[in-house]
Amino acid sequence: MAMNEEQRALFPKKKNGRLRRGVHLVPATLTTFNLGCGFYAINATMMGGTPNFDKAAIAIGLAVLFDSLDGRIARATGTNSEFGKQFDSLADVISFGIAPGILSYAWGVRSVFGASPALLHNLQPLGLLICFAYVVCCAWRLARFNIQGMAPDSRFFLGMPAPAAAGMVAASVHALKFPLEGWRGSLLWLALVGAIAALMSSTIRYYSGKDLGWTRRQPSLVVVALALLGWSIVEYSEEMLLIIASLYAVSGPTLVLLRGVRHRLASQPTA
């Protein structure tokens, strides 16, 4: 039976002309783990309570790890496919869009109602709107990446990557632990979530790290530095993960600012 173009993309042919049905096991399994972490994070958030919010944040962090591994392994082994690309994007919408959006609202907005029920009338619609906007911007970012790919310079992403945005939300919850109780803190939190959403849908360039030679020989000092960084993350996960996520989040706007200053200095006439 003849196959249409969509089916041919999902089931590419082997060199001998036979159809290769199915999916590549290792990348698809890692993507499934990513999706499972997102599902677990949503369930933990719905249960509520400080321990469950922290578990949800950790699950989102693990989803970021699995997402970074599946793509790298697929490219390294030549097992990347259109099916894997679409499956990965659908999993990312759950793990880096819906799960952080629900966590942002439950941890930073809904918890305030118990302390100040009178705020429910105004704060709830605002919180729902901003957290939903975060989910929309995440889906927008992923769809744009599927169509456009990287920036013209392949070392950079266009807009803040969805895993990094979710990592910023998860790192904040993991570091602060206890849900927010004051309306001022809740408004600041919503401002942060809204800023992250805007950065995802923007065209600000973020470094991708794809040009780093992870498979090449590296100086011993680099290996020692990475080992110390890994130990620091394990030992001081709350502080280190928040610092790393925050530095990456501000790196894009900082580069834009530096380019603007450099361009202005270069355009000034010399004496």
What is residue 37's predicted lDDT score, i.e. its pLDDT?
A: 96
What is residue 201's predicted lDDT score, i.e. its pLDDT?
A: 93
Residue 163's contacts (CB-CB under 8 Å, 6 or more residues apart) are: 63, 64, 67, 68, 92, 96
What is residue 17's predicted lDDT score, i.e. its pLDDT?
A: 41
What is residue 175's predicted lDDT score, i.e. its pLDDT?
A: 94
Q: What is the pLDDT of residues 232-262, one digit of tens each?
A: 888 888 999 999 999 999 999 998 898 888 8
What is residue 6's predicted lDDT score, i.e. its pLDDT?
A: 47
- Measured over the CA atoms of residue 142, residue 129, residue 195 and residue 198, the dihedral's sign is positive
CA angle 28, 161, 257 (to 5 degrees): 160
Tell me which residues of the chain have a pLDDT lower than 70. 1-23, 113-121, 150-151, 211-218, 269-271
Q: What is the pTM of this model?
A: 0.83
The fold adopted by the segment(s) 24-209+218-267 is: Four Helix Bundle (Hemerythrin (Met), subunit A) (1.20.120)
Look-up of token digits 């036979």? 18
3-class secondary structure, 156 = strand
Residue 67's contacts (CB-CB under 8 Å, 6 or more residues apart) are: 30, 31, 34, 88, 91, 92, 95, 96, 163
For residue 192, report the phi and psi dihedrals to the nearest 5 degrees.
-65, -45
Domain ranges of the chain: 24-209+218-267
What is residue 4's predicted lDDT score, i.e. its pLDDT?
A: 53
Distance between CA atoms of 187 and 86, rounded to whole angstroms? 35
CB-CB contact of 103 with 60 (8 Å): yes
What is residue 19's predicted lDDT score, i.e. its pLDDT?
A: 39
How many Cα atoms occupy the beta-carbon half-sphere of 38 within 13 Å?
27
Q: What is the pLDDT of residues 123-146, one digit of tens each?
A: 888 999 999 999 999 999 999 988
What is residue 239's predicted lDDT score, i.e. its pLDDT?
A: 92
What is residue 33's predicted lDDT score, i.e. its pLDDT?
A: 95
What is residue 117's predicted lDDT score, i.e. its pLDDT?
A: 60
